[in-house]
Chain A
Amino acid sequence: MKIYFTRHGETTRNAERRISGRVDVPLSELGRRQAEALAARIHAEGLKIDLIISSPMKRARDTADAAAAVTGAPVTVDARLIEQDYGEYEGVYMDEPRFSDFLENKRHFAYRYPGGESMLDVAARVFPFLDELIRTHADKTVLIVSHGGVSRLFNAYFCDMTNDGFYNYLPDNCELTLYETEAPRCCAL
């Protein structure tokens, strides 16, 4: 089974360098072009996507729709792929003093962002999603469209990561990562 993971295109918040978790912001102009470029790449490389599963957030759905337009693959939405809830840090600018508190909190795996989720909380929804995906679509090629916070757990499901590696892990908008697997919790990377 092949699982492609991509992070949605750039959003207006990404462009403003602000933390965005549960706030449902749209793609920016650049984000739209990135989504289209991703779709073009999928087509050019002849990737045979059977199914696209997206986070329920607009920025992910719009990115997924762009890919669906060239692949003809059906798009479904799964709530477990929603971005990590950053709680009180939602909307904080990267040049604000509070951003360093956010980064400190990010170091700790079992410490929830106040009013939000911890890394373990996100694992508790992403890992069961992947177990089920692999059992249900064993011979398929699936594209997942989700977010940066989720991407860390998605990668951790398949690969061993150090705490530092986890902290620094962030795919670019519309970057494509391939995981090949034959069973839950295994990766042939």
Chain B
Amino acid sequence: MTLYVVRHGRTEYNEKHLFCGRTDVPLSDIGRSQLPSLAEAARGYNLDAIFSSPLRRAVETAEAVAAVTGLPVMTDDRLVERDFGTFEGQPFDTDEDRDARGNFAFRYPGGESNFDVAARVYPFLDWLRENYRDKTVMIVSHGFVCRIIRTWCLDMTDEEFYSLRHPNTGVLRYDV
């Protein structure tokens, strides 16, 4: 299976460096302007299927690719972003969230840990590989989920995991 893993286009929360997990914000103007290049690149991927997180920023991004490929967008709840609990809408990279950010088994208060995200994303990916074995699939999701998807596809040291940055509408390809 070949996977093209895409992080949704930019949102206002991204621009203001705020935690954006379950909050269902739309793409910003900049985010929408990023879609045509993504769609153009996707023409060359020979996609068989498009899966997306159900959050609108991901669906809007996926729909730009759907429009040029003629494929439907299939949403799956397991691709929704990590739940940041009480940190939703709070500024990023302060000392406050140091514990949840730096430790795999720490949950954001009222939210999820990295293990929680893996526990829903890995079964989705196992199912995907089972059902799209020799196919090419695009997944449109979010920053933390895209990172977990990468760990399913290949081994990462902790340093690689923490330092990975996936830009909005950036595409990572994996052959699994």
List of B residues within 8 angstroms of A185 by Cβ: 107, 116
Other-chain contact of A162, B103, B115, B116, B151 (Cβ < 8 Å) = B103
With an 8 Å Cβ cutoff, the count of chain B residues facing the other chain is 23
Given contacts A128-B123, A156-B113, contact A161 B155 (CB under 8 A): no
Asked whether, in the complex, the Cβ of B155 is within 8 Å of the Cβ of A110, the reply is: yes
Asked whether, in the complex, the Cβ of B99 is within 8 Å of the Cβ of A160, the reply is: yes
Asked whether, in the complex, the Cβ of A163 is within 8 Å of the Cβ of B156, the reply is: no
Asked whether, in the complex, the Cβ of A161 is within 8 Å of the Cβ of B103, the reply is: yes
Asked whether, in the complex, the Cβ of B158 is within 8 Å of the Cβ of A120, the reply is: no
Q: Shortest CB–CB separation between residue A81 and chain B, in angstroms?
A: 15
Answer yes or no: B122 CB below 8 A from chain A CBs: yes
Asked whether, in the complex, the Cβ of A109 is within 8 Å of the Cβ of B102, the reply is: no
Given contacts A108-B157, A109-B114, contact A160 B105 (CB under 8 A): yes
Other-chain contact of B118, A112, A124, A161, A165 (Cβ < 8 Å) = A124
| A119→B151 CA distance, assembly (Å) | 11
| A107→B155 CA distance, assembly (Å) | 13
Asked whether, in the complex, the Cβ of B115 is within 8 Å of the Cβ of A120, the reply is: yes
List of B residues within 8 angstroms of A107 by Cβ: 158
Q: Shortest CB–CB separation between residue B87 and chain A, in angstroms?
A: 14
List of A residues within 8 angstroms of B114 by Cβ: 109, 120
Answer yes or no: A93 CB below 8 A from chain B CBs: no
Given contacts A109-B114, A128-B119, contact A166 B104 (CB under 8 A): yes
Asked whether, in the complex, the Cβ of A110 is within 8 Å of the Cβ of B106, the reply is: no
Q: Shortest CB–CB separation between residue B156 and chain A, in angstroms?
A: 4
Question: Residues on B close to A: CB < 8 A?
Answer: 99, 102-107, 113-116, 118-119, 122-123, 148, 151-152, 155-158, 161
A-B contact list, 5 entries, CB within 8 Å: A120-B152, A156-B115, A160-B107, A185-B107, A185-B116
